[in-house]
Amino acid sequence: MTATGPGRPRKQQPSRPGATAREEILDAAAELFTTQGYASTPTRSIAEAVGIRQSSLYHHFKTKDDILEVLLAGTVSSGLSFARGICSETDGNRDPISAAARLHAVALFDGTQLCNARYNVGVLYNLTESRSERFHSFIEDRRELRGLYQRLGAALPENGWTTTGQSGDLAFRLVETLISLRADGLSVPDSPLQAADAGIVLSGLGEHLPPIRARSEALIADIQA
Best CA proximity match to 71, nearest among 13, 32, 99:
32
Band the pLDDT of 3: cuts 50, 70, 90: very low
Superfamily of domain 2-62: Homeodomain-like (1.10.10.60)
Spell out the residues 6+ positions from residue 143 whose beta carbon is closer than 8 angstroms to its own.
none
Q: What is the DSSP string of 116-144?
A: HSSS-GGGGGGSSGGGSGGGHHHHHHHHH
Give residue 203's identity as a one-letter amino acid code: S
What's the confidence (pLDDT) of residue 4?
A: 43
Quick: pLDDT tens for 60-84: 999 999 999 999 999 999 999 999 9
Residue 154 near residue 165, CB atoms below 8 Å = yes
Q: What are the structural domain ranges in the chain? A: 2-62, 66-224
Spell out the residues 6+ positions from residue 87 whose beta carbon is closer than 8 angstroms to its own.
102, 148, 151, 152
Quick: pLDDT tens for 127-182: 988 889 999 999 999 999 999 999 999 988 876 554 556 899 999 999 999 999 99
Best CA proximity match to 30, nearest among 39, 22, 38, 40:
38
Lowest-confidence segment of 6-20, 31-45, 123-137 by average pLDDT: 6-20
CA distances to 100, 121, 125, 133, 136 from 130, rounded to whole Å, are 32, 12, 6, 8, 9
